[in-house]
Homo-oligomer: A and B are copies of this chain.
């Protein structure tokens, strides 16, 4: 039972670190946390206890009003309604997490590899909603533009070497999975009138020297939807809905920690304000003019570094 205390002692309920002084019942939050029973799992106790603490601290800090809280309840209800009504094709809850930076942060937490020296794997970035488990394997040197070159499309020869983070040795047989939107900013799933399934998707297996090469498009920036709760939230925050142009890649090998990430042209105007906060410096690339190849006008060299499965596990 909470007290109706009119006093405030300026410490958090659990008393283990200083918090902003406030004038509300200092025992309330701990009472809610302590209502958890003995049979909750240690992890549930940790996660849900921290969730309660932060929800309460947030509410006290901003002195959240009843109207604001009720607007929040309405907002959350609308997220789930859209997901259900769209038959699970429009996940606004996921998108809200993205525009608040949560997916990118959770991705960082999951993939952080603390290296003691100069060893750094290629940075990870968020998977996003458009990866497909069904992308076909294609031959090295092939093209992922199975429906031809779209209007305004700029063909790029992409190539590089996949290496072991520790030894620097190439990794033969590593799988390089790529997917990207077409020049209209849409993925095959979203654009059935113009694209057949698996257009602009493909998997390539690195050769004996760890090399991959194929043809793809220079990527195109696109906007998140300009309606719905995520658009409303962006509007409240006076933010644009643009993602910088990017290519998704997922590099895997049975003996290595896989890398899921996104690559960005260094000329993109949205790099510093990506609406989902998924840009990291080592993922920004230089697309160069290519001569002497009648299939492509641009070239992108991108080398990927991945860590052995066992690396850093003791520290994670």
| Chain B residues whose CB sits within 8 angstroms of the CB of A85 once the complex forms | 84
Of A44, A52, A54, A103, the most chain B CB neighbours within 10 A belong to: A54
For A35, give its contact among B59, B69, B239 (CB under 8 Å). B239
Q: Is A37 an interface residue (CB 8 A)?
A: yes
Tally of this chain's copies: 2
Closest to A32 in B: B101
| Chain B residues whose CB sits within 8 angstroms of the CB of A48 once the complex forms | 233, 236-237
Contact assessment for B52 and A54 in the assembled complex, using a CB-CB cutoff below 8 Å: no
For A56, give its contact among B17, B18, B102 (CB under 8 Å). B102
Q: Is A79 an interface residue (CB 8 A)?
A: yes
| Chain B residues whose CB sits within 8 angstroms of the CB of A77 once the complex forms | 79-80, 83-84, 91, 93
Number of interface residues of A (CB under 8 A): 91
| Chain B residues whose CB sits within 8 angstroms of the CB of A6 once the complex forms | 114-115, 120
Q: How far is the CB of A32 from chain B (nearest CB, A)?
A: 4
Q: Which of A139-147, A212-220, A277-285 contacts B (4 or more CB under 8 A)?
A: A277-285
Closest to A244 in B: B1
Q: Is A4 an interface residue (CB 8 A)?
A: yes
Contact assessment for B279 and A1 in the assembled complex, using a CB-CB cutoff below 8 Å: yes
Contact assessment for B120 and A40 in the assembled complex, using a CB-CB cutoff below 8 Å: no
Given A6-B115, A28-B108, A281-B1: A52 and B91 interface contact (C-beta under 8 Å): no
Contact assessment for A2 and B106 in the assembled complex, using a CB-CB cutoff below 8 Å: no
Q: Is A301 an interface residue (CB 8 A)?
A: no
- A interface residues, Cβ below 8 angstroms from B: 1-4, 6, 17-18, 20, 23-25, 28-29, 31-32, 35-41, 44, 46-48, 50-66, 68-69, 73, 76-85, 91, 93-94, 97, 100-110, 112, 114-115, 120, 123, 233, 236-239, 271-275, 277, 279-282
A and B contact pairs by CB, cutoff 8 A, 15 listed: A1-B272, A1-B274, A2-B277, A4-B120, A36-B239, A59-B109, A60-B105, A64-B106, A66-B107, A69-B97, A73-B97, A76-B80, A80-B80, A80-B83, A81-B81
